Structure 1
Amino acid sequence: MKKLQVIAILVLIFSTQVKAQEADSSYTNLEAIFNRPFIYKAQGGASSASIGGYVEGNTNYFTTDGISDGYSMELRRFNIFLFASVHERIKFISELEFEHGTEEIALETALLDFEIHPALVFRMGILLPPVGYFNQNHDGPKWEFIDRPLVSTNVIPSTLSEMGMGFYGKVPVGKHKMTYELYLTNGLQDGIIANTENRTFFGAGKSEEMFAEDNNGVPAISGRLAFNAFGLGEFGLSGYTGIYNEFEIEGETVEDKRRASLWALDYNFRIAQLQLIGETAWASVDIPEAYGQQFGTKQFGTHLDMIYPIFRRDLLGWKDVTLNLINRLEYVDYNIDDFEETNTNIYDQIYAIVPGLSLRFSSNTLLKFNYRRHWERDFLGNPVSKTAGVQFGFASYF
């Protein structure tokens, strides 16, 4: 508790020195972790170090098949960023997250970048593997929706942080940009299948031990190649693969190596005033025969966010306020295998639609209203479970 109090005091002292600036729209997704308003002061030469962060909270009221737990409110996240220009070609950045109040406290990022050339930068530390678009670009104030996409959390285990190292770079292609990233990290662990979800679940493969050691001594590999088209948007292809199980104990082989892999296609572009953001992911896992068929060897998920500004004008003394009409379509299949005995489909699927409104006061602060409705089916294909509810929330950088 004393540590939390010290951190809170530091935030109050230093955050008063930070003035949020508008985000630079020329940033690519590769640079998402540096596209945060508190950084601009440090890069402007006023200070060698800077502190900032974001906060988001919301209300919830949901019913599932007519049964509700009632109305509740939550402070979903309070995140603190630290950034320093250690040298004109060396950057440090870190992120400490307090989730659901102080229920979960996690160090999401702590890394150093050494710029050899803009096309070749060495990175080492606790980093965000570039799987899809969302994992590196997950800050609440950047998104019009309260909940994170299902494919980005339940197939791709965002937010995924791992200890590792590698290279990234940006290469101009005429007026356009090509970016790449390639990293070695400690990798996900046995929890992918040894979990309480009773299904293949990449998120359960995360562990605090990942920051200190690899459970099997075989690094995971992740990478992303993206094309940022001037005036249109960005399109990316990414992958992640590694051995997840502990196959040796004191030099003795105890089981076969088992691999888990993720592949993703993502996009973020505009057609006139309509913004489209989405990613599609495929997962494959080598499952031991002893596990039941409810543990899928293959998974699939996708989401599409549609954002359209209804008006943009001064409102009640605030300048350039934007009201957005929004909608999200999403689908996840946790098990796209068939039953061995009957050769019929294994279900374990969820569909969702999330229409709503967002009132954006700037690129840094917004209010959100979402209506969420989803349909879920268990792996046996029993009748669909229906959930519906409303959420109202806020998110802001500081």
Structure 2
Amino acid sequence: MKIYTSIYIKQIILSLTFTLVTHSLWAQEVDSIKVRTAIDTTKTELNMDAVYNRPFLNFKKLPVALGGYLEANSIYSSEDGVSEGLSFQARRLTVFMSASISKRIKFLTEIELEEGGKEIAIEFAALDVIIAPEINFRGGIIMNPIGAFNQNHDGPKWEFVERPDVAVNLLPATWSNPGFGIFGKMHQDNWTLGYEAYLTNGFDGSIIDNEENKTFLPAAKANGERFEESNNGQALITGKIALKNRTIGELGLSYMGGVYNKFEEDGLTLDKKRRVDVFAIDVNTTLKKFDTYIVGEAAFVKVDVPETFTQQYGEKQFGAFIDIVQPILKRNVLNWENATLNLAVRFDYVDWNIGSFNETQTDIGEDLWAITPAISFRPTSQTVFRLNYRFQEQTDILNNPAAKKASWLFGLSTYF
């Protein structure tokens, strides 16, 4: 989630980050780098481990491990035959830092710079106290574990330039809040069971009062005040259970809900308590025979919209995506071992307003579907070059003929 800072705070953060990295590299000799911690590929890792399951550089004389990733791309798109031409985008530069403070206590933060540093986002900054594998404590700025993509969003892990529509246009992507909670994992034979449960600050009235003129949960990301205090004194509850079989795959069920409106002020009742509830399911698996990787997520949103609002503000919403990735070539190329060429396809669907008009009983529009074929090349598992073609159709609330948009996207993403 983004914390919008003043220009002075931005300069301080940028200066500290630059100083830390350059001093570390200057002060250490070449052999001082202990190891580049690779992404854990063990079959007991769950999606909930994504925040730590990243490559880091560890230094002998520093208690801090450093890492990060870069995303950049170009895009050429046209809508209903009208093109805006070719553009280049510096999407994001993300830096993570982790530290083992003492035995059983560790800290990790993820800081994202978007649009060339125009926006600085603290997406994660939490202290973990390791009590036992089955139960651990976490506090700070936490990524709410709704669905799978919110926690597992690093660009180098995906074959597509754009993020899934359900994760950015239905749910607020990289949605994080201050709060506390517990998490843990249990293992038996080929099975792993994991859970997370958190109480945090949450949504506000902007989800039904925004520039989109519809029920739109991502609008709440713009409210940086939630890092200082709750909008209404009511905690947002987020919980997830994930079950994984080493040979089959992983299934996750998650929930996020709470009161979003300001219903009381100075002891005076302004409105009844109005809830927003989100239910999500996510899956991932690999078909061993063909080495085909499949990952998907679906979410259902229910919002208590005031009766005074028009029907363009939906009370029920749904969205889903599925990625299918097929390696077609894996071999040594130049000095790259096991470089991989993939074919992939993504299907996206979002309906911001499920239901029909009261007067005519005709379906309410406001939905989108898209298909994105892709070719990606990975010289290593930590770097990806990707070429995508995205075709989408989007209808307005009255179900007028859909606006058609086609986009060519070429980009790269890499850990460092």
TM-score under structure 2 length normalisation:
0.92
Match of 2:66 among 36, 51, 69: 51
SS state of the match for residue 293, structure 1?
A: coil
Match of 2:313 among 287, 291, 295: 295
* Root-mean-square deviation over aligned CA pairs: 1.6
Ranges of 4+ aligned residues in structure 1 off by more than 4 Å: 15-19
Match of 1:124 among 139, 142, 151: 139
Measure, in 2, the Cα distance between the counterparts of 1:278 and 1:203: 20
Match of 2:373 among 348, 355, 363: 355
SS state of the match for residue 106, structure 2?
A: strand
SS state of the match for residue 134, structure 1?
A: coil
Question: Is the 1:20–1:397 contact (alpha carbons within 8 Å) kept by the matching residues of 2?
Answer: no
How many Å apart are 1:88 and its aligned residue? Answer: 2.1
Letter of the 1:236 counterpart = G
Q: State the partner residue of 1:91.
A: 106
Q: State the partner residue of 1:211.
A: 227
Q: State the partner residue of 1:233.
A: 249
Match of 2:90 among 75, 79, 86: 75
Unaligned segments of structure 1, at least 5 residues: none
Match of 1:384 among 395, 402, 405: 402
- Residue 179 in structure 1 maps to residue 194 in structure 2: yes
Alignment of 1:19-34 (within 5 A): 20-26=36-42, 27-34=45-52
- Residue 265 in structure 1 maps to residue 290 in structure 2: no
How many Å apart are 1:46 and its aligned residue? Answer: 6.9
Unaligned segments of structure 2, at least 5 residues: 1-6
Q: State the partner residue of 1:375.
A: 393
Measure, in 2, the Cα distance between the counterparts of 1:66 and 1:139: 33
- Residue 339 in structure 1 maps to residue 363 in structure 2: no
CA displacement 1:358-383 (0-9 Å, x = unmatched): 11122211111111110010011011
How many Å apart are 1:268 and its aligned residue? Answer: 1.0
Q: State the partner residue of 1:10.
A: 20
CA displacement 1:108-140 (0-9 Å, x = unmatched): 111001111110001000000110010010011
CA displacement 1:80-119 (0-9 Å, x = unmatched): 1110011121110001111121222111111001111110
Measure, in 2, the Cα distance between the counterparts of 1:314 and 1:88: 41
Measure, in 1, the Cα distance between the counterparts of 2:283 and 2:230: 32
Letter of the 2:311 counterpart = Q
How many Å apart are 1:315 and its aligned residue? Answer: 0.9
Question: Is the 1:15–1:51 contact (alpha carbons within 8 Å) kept by the matching residues of 2?
Answer: no
Cα gap change, 1:46 to 1:313, in 2 (>3 Å): farther
- Residue 192 in structure 1 maps to residue 210 in structure 2: no
Q: State the partner residue of 1:326.
A: 344
Letter of the 1:240 counterpart = M
Letter of the 1:66 counterpart = G
Measure, in 2, the Cα distance between the counterparts of 1:66 and 1:294: 28
CA displacement 1:183-213 (0-9 Å, x = unmatched): 0011111111111010100001222111111
Question: Is the 2:294–2:324 contact (alpha carbons within 8 Å) kept by the matching residues of 1?
Answer: yes
SS state of the match for residue 276, structure 1?
A: strand
Alignment of 1:135-154 (within 5 A): 135-154=150-169
Q: State the partner residue of 2:326.
A: 308
- Residue 167 in structure 1 maps to residue 182 in structure 2: yes
SS state of the match for residue 121, structure 2?
A: strand
Letter of the 1:333 counterpart = D
Question: Is the 1:23–1:363 contact (alpha carbons within 8 Å) kept by the matching residues of 2?
Answer: no
Q: State the partner residue of 2:262.
A: 246
Cα gap change, 1:394 to 1:175, in 2 (>3 Å): same
Question: Is the 1:243–1:257 contact (alpha carbons within 8 Å) kept by the matching residues of 2?
Answer: yes
Measure, in 1, the Cα distance between the counterparts of 2:369 and 2:48: 29
Cα gap change, 1:258 to 1:357, in 2 (>3 Å): same
Cα gap change, 1:363 to 1:244, in 2 (>3 Å): same
Percent of paired sites with the same residue? 43
Measure, in 1, the Cα distance between the counterparts of 2:129 and 2:20: 28
TM-score under structure 1 length normalisation:
0.96
Q: State the partner residue of 2:4.
A: none
Measure, in 1, the Cα distance between the counterparts of 2:255 and 2:178: 17
